[in-house]
Amino acid sequence: MILPAVPILAFKFLFWALALAVFLRELAAAWRPTPALARHFGAAMLLGVVVGAKLVYCLSYPGVALAALAGDTRSLLILAGAGAAPGALLGAVLALRLARRSMTPARAALVFDLDLLVKPAAWALAILDVGSLFWALSEPGFGVYTGAAWGMDFGDGIPRHPVMLYEAAFLVLAAWLHGRLDAGLFRAGDRAMLFIAAYCGVRVLTDYLRPPFGMPFITEMMHPYPWIYFRLMTGEQWVCLLVLLGLLPAWFSLSLRLIGAARR
């Protein structure tokens, strides 16, 4: 919906704080590290989130990135407050893996298990998706026009796909399923791999329900448009697709193991 700048910032701060609090609460419930380990992995995860979110955003919006490098103030402000959720998730995962490799073998048994990241990340991302309803038209990410009965008017008189609610529903389902999967059937990291693959797949599909796909309206033309590479997908979608392709061998191996376990 269309709100003045101050309420938008207030809502963003509220939901960012809520998402962070829920993330930390869920993570603390499953992982009790030493202070040294908490600092080691916490710093790595924070760095990965920021760098990953910015890099994927710049790939999706190269025009904003280039204008920011040229010193355009508006583009600098957009880039400072923007980020891509898939990039944040993937950046955190890569940073945690690198942080684990940097440790000595003696401490390897105490390191962070990526499976612990699934439920906290799913809830935090779902909260941010719900929160984005309050600032839907203030930044890119809103849905394109739809004639479906569940289309939502965010304040410009146009019924749009509530893409953020589609993604929030998936994330809540992922968090619920994660706690109900039989841990004995999976190796360390398998459930994290499933979550990342499913999330990337959902993002490839739901991003087709966002601009620049579909008929542009005046409201949409007020925002920077993501670049469509090869006239097929945005940079964010390509990153998610490449991750899916990279996870295919692990997915195939896991499927064989699960089938073998079911037959025994």
Q: CB within 8 A of 40, min separation 6: which ones?
A: 99, 103
pLDDT over threshold 70, residue 2: no
| pLDDT tens profile 225-256 | 899 999 999 999 999 999 999 999 999 999 99
- 47, 150: one domain: no
Q: How far is 97 from 148, CA to CA, in rounded Å?
A: 43
Q: How far is 64 from 200, CA to CA, in rounded Å?
A: 24
Which whole number is the average pLDDT over 211-227?
Answer: 88
Half-sphere exposure of 242 (CA within 13 A, CB side): 11
- 77, 192: one domain: no
Residue 71: per-residue pLDDT:
93
pLDDT over threshold 90, residue 31: no
**Residue 10: pLDDT band by 50, 70, 90 thresholds?**
confident
- 87, 135: one domain: no
Residue 11: per-residue pLDDT:
78
Looking at 111, 142, 169, the residue that finishes a domain is 111
What's the distance, Cα to Cα, between the start and end of the chain in Å?
Answer: 54
Residue 12: per-residue pLDDT:
79
- 181, 131: one domain: yes
| pLDDT tens profile 39-83 | 888 999 999 999 999 999 999 999 999 999 999 988 888 888 788
Buried b vs exposed e over 40-52: b needs ≥16 C-beta within 10 Å?
Answer: bbeebbeebbbbb
Reported pTM? 0.93
- 7, 45: one domain: no
Residue 218: per-residue pLDDT:
86
Looking at 57, 87, 111, the residue that finishes a domain is 111
**Residue 112: pLDDT band by 50, 70, 90 thresholds?**
low
- 68, 95: one domain: yes
Q: Report angle CA 206, 83, 223 to the nearest 5 degrees.
A: 70
- 180, 90: one domain: no
One-letter-per-residue 3-state SS of 133-155: HHHCCCCCCCCCECCCCCCEECC
CB 18 within 8 A of CB 48: no
- 225, 261: one domain: yes
Burial class (CB in 10 A: 0-12, 13-18, 19+), 249: exposed
* Domain containing residue 66: 32-111
